[in-house]
Chain A
Amino acid sequence: MSFLTSLFGRKSSAPVARDRLQILLAHERAGEGQSELIAKLQEEILEVIKRHITVDQDKVQIKMDRGAGVSMLEIDIEVPESAKPAAKAG
């Protein structure tokens, strides 16, 4: 099949479809609690950071990448130059 691939300059798309489905369904079968978990993680992580610096909600980006073995939760927080420690609570 590889000679055909090089002949037409296109890779088979079916294996890509299969891999995408396997990863997606593994997550979907794990249950709907997943999205709640992400929301909770986001909330708590931000809470911790806010104790130390003032965070602008608009400057926070949250990304999720579901992989086969591991999932990545990426939280991007822009810390301004003039970041000052937030007033300590209590």
Chain B
Amino acid sequence: MAKVLVVTSGKGGVGKTTSTAALGAALAQTGKNVVVVDFDVGLRNLDLVMGAERRVVFDLINVVQGDAKLAQALIRDKRVETLSILPASQTRDKDALTPEGVARVIEELREKFDWVICDSPAGIERGAQLAMYHADQAVVVTNPEVSSVRDSDRIIGMLDSTTERAKKGEKIDKHLLLTRYDPARAARGEMLRTEDVLEILSIPLLGIIPESEEVLRASNLGMPVTLSNPTSAPARAYFEAVRRLEGETLDVSVPTERKGLFDWLFKRSVA
């Protein structure tokens, strides 16, 4: 039974696309059939972060409007064979996405893949609503920062009210992914702690992705961080996150690159 997952946040720049790429690749690296779908029409970037920007011929809008077959628009990843990407259109307007067209594409993707991961655009408008509408599960990407937490709260409200599942009176599984976390700053009281964010948003924690140079390096290279450096701290955090998505129960820790005292201090369980 395929699962549709939306990666969303409300606020821009918190790591939705990075996390979509990393979670999608990590799931595919465990052998699952995964497609990552870019819903950010007009500002597509998932193709670039995944290193597929030169292979885009057709896109989501072409498929929605019937100008291309789904199989023609899907790009198979060259590194992980069970991973595919469905890019967004760079030139078209977001109004070209129709609810009926999106429903048809998602239905078709459900038949082909184990996981359909939708990368939502920022904001709370049409594009974001269409990206979350068919989701069974949601990953809410949040930075430990006031405006990001506030916007996440808003998005959680929308997930509970405007999605297909919500309208049918069913629940949508929501997970918090805390990104750009700096355990040392949190310990010094300079940054919201994981506990603070969890208490405020009250949804279960999927993982904590530490602030890391590896994330920028990965996007420079056009590789999900779980492929560019699988043993790095953020990659390990993403690998653990997908194990939780698959239903495993694991203690959440902040993986760290540093060795020595800091390692010992901050590798302790935090939630």
- Which residues of the partner chain B approach A17 to less than 8 Å between Cβ atoms? 145-146, 192, 196
| B37 CB to nearest chain A CB (Å) | 30
**Given the complex of chains A and B, what is the CA–CA distance between A5 and B196 in angstroms?**
20
B150 near A12 with CB under 8 A, answer: no
**Given the complex of chains A and B, what is the CA–CA distance between A18 and B146 in angstroms?**
8
**Given the complex of chains A and B, what is the CA–CA distance between A53 and B186 in angstroms?**
55
**Given the complex of chains A and B, what is the CA–CA distance between A22 and B192 in angstroms?**
12
Interface string of B164-207 (1 = CB under 8 A from A): 00000000000000000000001011111100100110000000
- Which residues of the partner chain B approach A1 to less than 8 Å between Cβ atoms? 188-189
B76 within 8 A of A: no
**Given the complex of chains A and B, what is the CA–CA distance between A24 and B153 in angstroms?**
11
Contacts known (A18-B200, A22-B200); A28 close to B154, Cβ less than 8 A: yes
B189 near A25 with CB under 8 A, answer: no
- Which residues of the partner chain A approach B157 to less than 8 Å between Cβ atoms? 29
- Which residues of the partner chain B approach A72 to less than 8 Å between Cβ atoms? none
Interface size counted on chain B using CB atoms at 8 A:
17
Q: Is the interface of B mostly helix, strand, loop or mixed?
A: helix
A4 within 8 A of B: yes
B193 near A21 with CB under 8 A, answer: no
B150 near A25 with CB under 8 A, answer: yes
Q: Is the interface of A mostly helix, strand, loop or mixed?
A: helix
- Which residues of the partner chain B approach A13 to less than 8 Å between Cβ atoms? 189-190
A52 within 8 A of B: no
| A54 CB to nearest chain B CB (Å) | 42
B153 near A14 with CB under 8 A, answer: no
B196 near A18 with CB under 8 A, answer: yes
B7 within 8 A of A: no
Residue of B nearest to A1 (CB): B189
- Which residues of the partner chain B approach A40 to less than 8 Å between Cβ atoms? none
Which listed residue (A4, A5, A12, A21) contacts B149, Cβ 8 A? A21
A20 within 8 A of B: yes
A21 near B146 with CB under 8 A, answer: yes
What are 26 A-B residue pairs whose CB atoms fall within 8 Å in the complex? A1-B188, A4-B188, A5-B189, A11-B189, A12-B188, A12-B189, A12-B190, A13-B190, A14-B186, A14-B189, A14-B192, A14-B193, A15-B189, A17-B145, A17-B192, A18-B192, A18-B196, A18-B200, A20-B146, A21-B149, A21-B150, A21-B192, A22-B200, A25-B150, A28-B150, A29-B153
Q: What are the nearest 10 A-B pairs in CB distance?
A: A12-B189, A18-B196, A14-B189, A17-B146, A25-B153, A14-B192, A17-B192, A21-B200, A21-B149, A14-B191
